[in-house]
Amino acid sequence: MTNERPTRVLIAKPGLDGHERGAKIVARALRDAGMEVIYTGIRQTPEMIAEAALQEDVDVVGLSILSGAHAELFPRVVAALKERGVVPEEVLFFAGGIIPDEDIPALKELGFREIFRPGASTRDIVEYVRQWAAERASGGEATGKP
């Protein structure tokens, strides 16, 4: 029997976007897969998200946005996380929502390893996070890629 704690995941909704159904579905799927999930709720500032990630000592930060403000808010969330010592090199950052193809490279440059858009399977999201956690635990480069 192992004493390892479950993967801790923070799911957050930055900005004024009040559409939380997708975020709640992803949070529940990750929880049902045995992960410890902290859902911050809607209308979170970048600072609130970063503080929650720090306080909860998370392994994964997932951001969900449907408002189109990802280009403005995601860099602010990453900056607030980095200010608190939570960095993409040690923590898995992923995002979901309405994100155009042309915006994905900039988000990946910020440290988001994967972008899940409408129609993404919760099974695929769970498997991606599990794969990343397994690679991280084995000491390999945690990419989340199968």
- Residue 1 resides in a domain: no
Indicate the helix (H) or strand (E) that contains 36.
strand 36-39
Mean pLDDT, residues 124-139: 95
Q: How many CB atoms lie within 10 A of CB 98?
A: 16
Residue numbers of the domain that contains 88: 8-137
Q: What pLDDT shows up at residue 142?
A: 62
85 lies in some domain: yes
Q: Does any domain span residue 3?
A: no
Torsion of CA 65, 68, 70, 76, to 10 degrees: -100
Q: What is the pLDDT of residues 39-50, one digit of tens each?
A: 999 999 999 999
Instruction: For residue 22, give the nearest of 77, 81, 98 by alpha carbon.
Output: 98
Domain count, the chain: 1
The CATH code of the domain that includes 81 is 3.40.50.280
Classify residue 87 by its DSSP letter: -
Residue 143 clears pLDDT 90, i.e. is over it: no
State the average pLDDT over residues 73-83: 97
Does residue 85 contact residue 116 with C-beta atoms inside 8 Å?
no
Regarding pTM above 0.85, the answer is: yes
146 is a domain residue: no
Query: For residue 143, is it within any domain?
Result: no
Return the percentage of the chain with pLDDT > 90, whole number: 85
